[in-house]
Amino acid sequence: MTHNPDDLIMLFNDLFLESSRTILVRGSDEPEYLPATEAGGAAQIIFAHGYFASALHEISHWCIAGAHRRTLPDYGYWYCPDGRTAGQQKAFEQAEVKPQALEWLFAVAAGSRFHISVDNLSGGGAADESGFRRKVRARANHYLEHGMPARARAFFDTLRSFYGTGETFEHAWQEESRRILSHAPDTDIKED
């Protein structure tokens, strides 16, 4: 199965341009969220380097952001780059549980591989990588059992339909869960 980010752009924009005035845009360097700057304009979710995984990750952040946060550049959140201290890394991991859980579900719905990212390669690494993996999986299971945010559910259903994974999702989810939880730290590096 091919995973072309242009398909994600088409699917996302068809689903959310009119209803949420938001578009997905291929970027070059760092991902970024830019709210609309003019009345009737569209907000932009810019993903890095044309990477499929980056697009899914940035969409995940958007799906979680509330109405007020979507009026702010990068949702008003801080971002401390690679090289974080232990305390900064712990805060990063806490903030990343929900978006990475959605990203993981989106990846499985699209039939693609997901890679947990602690995003701190030149710092001290993960604060608790195995714990982080378990928390992300638990949150993803929570979304499956109790429901996802509405925009996330709409995109998830669209991915399953487009990639034809509706009937195979449950089996693929169980396989991916085992794969991710069995990986030793630092074996998954995400292109994001």
pLDDT at 144: 97
H or E segment and range at residue 26: strand 22-26
pLDDT tens-digit series, residues 28-62: 888 999 999 998 899 999 999 999 999 999 999 99
For the cut 80, the answer to whether the pLDDT of residue 105 exceeds it is yes
Determine contact, residues 116/190, Cβ cutoff 8 Å.
yes
Q: For the purposes of burial, counting CB atoms within 10 Å of the CB of 53, is it exposed (0-12), middle (13-18) or buried (19 or more)?
A: buried
pLDDT tens-digit series, residues 62-97: 999 999 999 999 998 866 666 667 777 677 778 889
pLDDT tens-digit series, residues 115-170: 877 564 444 545 567 788 889 999 999 999 999 999 999 999 999 999 999 999 99
pLDDT at 2: 83
Determine contact, residues 157/163, Cβ cutoff 8 Å.
no
